Structure 1
Amino acid sequence: MTTALVTGSHGWVGTHLRHLLRSYGHQVVGTGRRSRTAPDGERYLPVDLRDARATSALVDAVRPEVVFHLAATLPQRGPDTEDLVADTVLTTYNVCRALRATTGSAPARLILVGSSAQYGAVPPEQNPITERTPLRPLGAYGHAKAAAESLAFAMAADGRIRVTATRPFNHVGPGADTTTVAGALAMRVADVLAGRRDRLRVADLDAVRDFTDVRDIARAYVKLAQPHRAGGIYNVCSGAGVTVRTVLETLLDLAGLDGATVEVADGGSDVRCQVGSAARLATEVGWQPTIPLRVSLRDLLAEMIDGHRPQTDEEGAA
């Protein structure tokens, strides 16, 4: 039985990942800054990973074979730049440092969750984006994720830990909150259905994104953590470009609404098109997404209609 430590364990992806790990028979230990009661069959240890001594004590107590490092601060939540960098880069340094101090029959494995924000504004003609595409991050979040990835590989250069870095693209599916594209649109559609608003005000409908169900993303992380994997960098994405307009139209269709409820506002993202290539993940790991976008949006909208407003914390999602 493998002992897996999940940082940011009760955020959106962490919740799906914990459940999946348990279904595969792994011993799961979660951690985050908040105090929580662990679900049956799990352990939970509250730790601030910005504290080097506390992080070392956590790793020493758990002795994990693999760490899934999801803990981070989402840029949409408006953190101070210094806090964002500390939550992304300093926590990664402390986790790597603690893992390097452990001893075992094999180096501890670190699955480092990055973001497609590391790629930034890649020209549309250079899509789909591969792992060899130069990084052009635009904001502090993308730069911090890129720095954390580089730092982790530097800490692993002498072989004392083994790092696999992921660069997931846009997430979708149950548990999404309104900091995500699909989550924000689904909430507005649910509000119209409930009479909380008359119209949906949206912008940037022509932006193209690459959406993957959160459950498929969690499955990719588990497959990448298999003991025989050597490490490296992997995009986690569907490989299919979808406009935000298509996401909205699908949600409207699922809700039985039409475009008359939509009001298009000015504004847009600096990243007009971001579509990834998951060819390396498919070829080397045998992973492919299995959940269609319409199913992801159906499950998400059902939660929003039921009045569920997920609150993610300590976890990044592209």
Structure 2
Amino acid sequence: MRAFVTGISGFVGGHLAEHLLASGDQVAGVSASGRFPDDLAELARSVRIERLDLMDVDQAELADLLRRKQPEAIYHLAAQSNPRASFDDPRGTWALNLGGTLNLLSAVKEAGLAPKPRVVIVGSGVCYGDPPPEFIPVTESCPLRPNNPYSASKAAADLLGVQMHLSDGLDVVMARPFNHAGPRQSPRYVLATLAHQVAEVEAGLKDAVEVGNLDVVRDYTDVRDVVRAYRLLAQGGKAGEIYNLGTGRGLKLTDALDRFLALATKPIAVRIDPARVRAVDLPYLVADPSKLRAAVGWEPVFPIDQTLADMLADARRRVAGG
């Protein structure tokens, strides 16, 4: 399968490129930087990556690029993906998450590829906000109640995908992944920052792990399972449909920290940092992934203990390397 990935140099993009290559696909992609980070430099041997900013793109140029690549599957990952950062730059978040999706889908329409490529739009489970009790675990029929610019813009991009499927006949499916984590994730995200801080304390660079509100419960899927689901949706999802992606099991963040501390090579002190407590936080968010499983037969493979151990091992390598 010929695959084209937006945001290919990011955390999920790198894992997706690795999975696609391992599955025998031809892979090309774009990102705002136009290059892989140093720890993914080997991917540049097998993946053609080009610099392209979806917020400031010439639609005809992007359509021409798609004609040259002739993708059979397009994975749209490019996004401002941090909910907290979206409060600092709501306009930029909307410009990329909704405007960038409009630019991509418009270019797909203009390119007029035959057969039509399957476009997998990656949304987010946080678009459901704080679900009513009757919608827990969260199904796709749960009302949308986004409480930050990130989740609102992702919900709007999903609706755009549905609209352009119905009005323009584009072959689009929407994935709504809930929280995911794994090696190489940025410390801007809670499990990654816990792993990174434990590694720093082990190395003598900090005296304690600083935390915010750890009483929340989230549905964490290993990123390596997430990218498998994306490829399965590219092959077997139904056009115009939305699919929740998660394990269906909740993880309390205090329990995640306890598991990291159990893996540590020395006793680790923990202290509350008020700056890390979010003004808007959802107490409980767990997916019902039964629609996805019925459609493509996906099941998660990586248990959470392996995910956390792999994240801590990765954090130790990064801390040791400066």
Q: Identity of aligned pairs, percent?
A: 36
Deviation digits for residues 169-228 of structure 1, max 9, x if unmatched? 111111111121100111111111111111112121110001000000000001000167
SS at match of 1:297: helix
Match among 253, 257, 276 for residue 244 of structure 1: 253
Correspondence for 1:173: 182
CA apart distance, 1:262: 1.4
Going from structure 1 to structure 2, the CA distance change for 1:62 and 1:200 (only over 3 Å counts) comes to same
Correspondence for 2:62: 55
- Number of residue-to-residue matches in the alignment: 308
Correspondence for 1:303: 314
Code of the aligned partner of 1:154 = Q
Code of the aligned partner of 1:277 = D
Correspondence for 1:261: 269
Which runs of no fewer than 5 residues in structure 2 stay unpaired?
37-42
Alignment check: 8 A CA contact 2:166 2:240 kept: no
Correspondence for 2:199: 190
Alignment check: 8 A CA contact 1:177 1:309 kept: no
Alignment check: 8 A CA contact 1:124 1:272 kept: no
Correspondence for 1:313: none
Correspondence for 1:111: 120
| More helix by percentage | 2
Question: Would you say 1:212 and 2:217 are equivalent positions?
Answer: no
Alignment check: 8 A CA contact 1:114 1:145 kept: yes
Q: TM-score, normalised by structure 2?
A: 0.89
Higher RCO by CA contacts (8 Å cutoff, separation 6 or greater): 1
Correspondence for 2:108: 99
Q: Which moved more, 1:41-50 or 1:52-61?
A: 52-61
Correspondence for 1:42: 47
Match among 68, 72, 77 for residue 65 of structure 1: 72
Code of the aligned partner of 1:300 = M
Correspondence for 1:15: 14
Give, in whole Å, the separation in 1 of the partners of 2:236 and 2:131. 34
CA apart distance, 1:91: 0.9
Deviation digits for residues 125-181 of structure 1, max 9, x if unmatched? 631101111110001111100111111211111453111101111111111111211
Which runs of no fewer than 5 residues in structure 1 stay unpaired?
311-318
Going from structure 1 to structure 2, the CA distance change for 1:232 and 1:271 (only over 3 Å counts) comes to same
Give, in whole Å, the separation in 1 of the partners of 2:255 and 2:4. 37
Q: Which moved more, 1:93-102 or 1:265-274?
A: 265-274
Alignment check: 8 A CA contact 2:130 2:283 kept: yes
Give, in whole Å, the separation in 2 of the partners of 1:245 and 1:213. 18
SS at match of 2:284: coil
Give, in whole Å, the separation in 2 of the partners of 1:237 and 1:205. 20
Alignment check: 8 A CA contact 1:56 1:94 kept: no
Root mean square deviation of aligned Cα: 2.1
Alignment check: 8 A CA contact 1:63 1:102 kept: no
Give, in whole Å, the separation in 1 of the partners of 2:204 and 2:133. 39
Q: Which moved more, 1:135-144 or 1:44-53?
A: 44-53
